[in-house]
Structure 1
Amino acid sequence: MAHAVYLGLGTNLGDKEHNLRIAIDRIGEKVGAVVRRSSFLVTEPWGFCSDNTFVNAVIMAETQLSPIEVLHATQQIERDMGRTMKSVGGEYHDRVIDIDILLYDDIILETEELTIPHPLMYERDFVMTPLREIMAKKE
């Protein structure tokens, strides 16, 4: 049975739209078929100061992977694309790509490694705007 996983993507370094397209392609290869994709949204940095604007998007993929397997796959994609530092303790940095698990089916999960739904998504317009866009799309 396929599970619906919603992923938030963001980038503020390099060719941003290209970064998102590459990440989406790799998610399709490593996580599962990308069924929906939001528009790309240009936003200001959130939680830190940077001269670089972000380009954000949300996608929905159908996956056979468990939530933890999705996390590990997306973290590997981030590393493969050149992301060297994860945000820790509310300290954010410029990044080539950031992939967050927003929702996975309708589960609620809270472990040291992963929390679903994403605990900060409701505070972030750059997540909620594209998420609403793709949730409104018909199958």
Structure 2
Amino acid sequence: MATVYLGLGTNLGNREQNLHFAVEQIQKRIGDVITLSAFYMTEPWGFQSTNSFLNAACAVQTNYTPEELLHVTQSIEKQIGRKEKSINRIYSDRLIDIDIPLYDEVIVNSKELVIPHPLMEQRRFVLEPLVEIAPDVIHPILKEPIRTLFSEKEILLESYHHVLS
């Protein structure tokens, strides 16, 4: 059995309800949700929108392979109403997004799936909920705990905001 960490995000509709329903479906269809972060309000990343996101992370025990897990998460997204994933890294508003930032210590780099999730260490909306539930989990490529990646991200954000002031 693997421990996987899923990142959840929504910026359309009843965002809290979207996240709760996604977690229910993850519990039913993927495996035991062993921990769930708080819900974090964040600004859109990579595109402009007037709709803020609600993000969370959960840890799940599953017997699915990474590829099987991807297909089930995509099925849950469609069930909730998501029509398509980002195309050519062009992002847009969404009812739900379920990403796979980490899957045990596994590294996957295929056309269909990349784990650890690319650029997760640059995304506060991924790191902040993850550091709450998995501060000591090690990023399998960067060889740093999530706590350290989040601390470094905080420093970069503070520097960025200071420069903008």
Q: Tell me the TM-score range normalised by the shorter chain.
A: over 0.9
Q: Look up the match of 1:88.
A: 87
Q: Look up the match of 1:8.
A: 7
Q: Look up the match of 2:19.
A: 20
Question: In 2, distance between residues paired with 1:129 and 1:79?
Answer: 26
Q: TM-score, normalised by structure 2?
A: 0.81
More strand by share: 1
Q: Look up the match of 2:72.
A: 73
Question: In 2, distance between residues paired with 1:136 and 1:51?
Answer: 31
1:121 CA drift (Å): 0.8
1:136 CA drift (Å): 3.7
State the number of aligned residues: 136
Sequence identity percentage: 51
- Runs of at least 5 residues in structure 2 that lack an aligned partner in the other structure: 137-165
More helix by share: 2
Q: TM-score, normalised by structure 1?
A: 0.95
Structure 2 residue 154 is the aligned partner of structure 1 residue 120: no
Residue identity opposite 1:70 in structure 2: L
1:40 CA drift (Å): 0.2
Residue identity opposite 2:85 in structure 1: K
Deviates more, 1:82-91 or 1:40-49: 82-91
How much is the aligned-residue C-alpha RMSD, in angstroms? 1.0
1:23-34 aligned within 5 A: 23-34=22-33
1:90 CA drift (Å): 1.7
Q: Look up the match of 2:148.
A: none
Secondary structure of the 1:79 match is helix
Question: In 1, distance between residues paired with 2:132 and 2:86?
Answer: 26
Deviations 1:107-126 (A, max 9, x none): 11100000110012111001
Question: In 2, distance between residues paired with 1:91 and 1:136?
Answer: 30
Secondary structure of the 1:51 match is coil
Higher relative contact order (CA 8 A, sep 6+): 1
Q: For the pair shown, which has the larger CA radius of gyration, 1 or 2?
A: 2
Question: In 1, distance between residues paired with 2:4 and 2:90?
Answer: 26
- Runs of at least 5 residues in structure 1 that lack an aligned partner in the other structure: none
Secondary structure of the 1:87 match is coil
Deviations 1:41-98 (A, max 9, x none): 0000000001100000000000011000100000000001100021021200100000
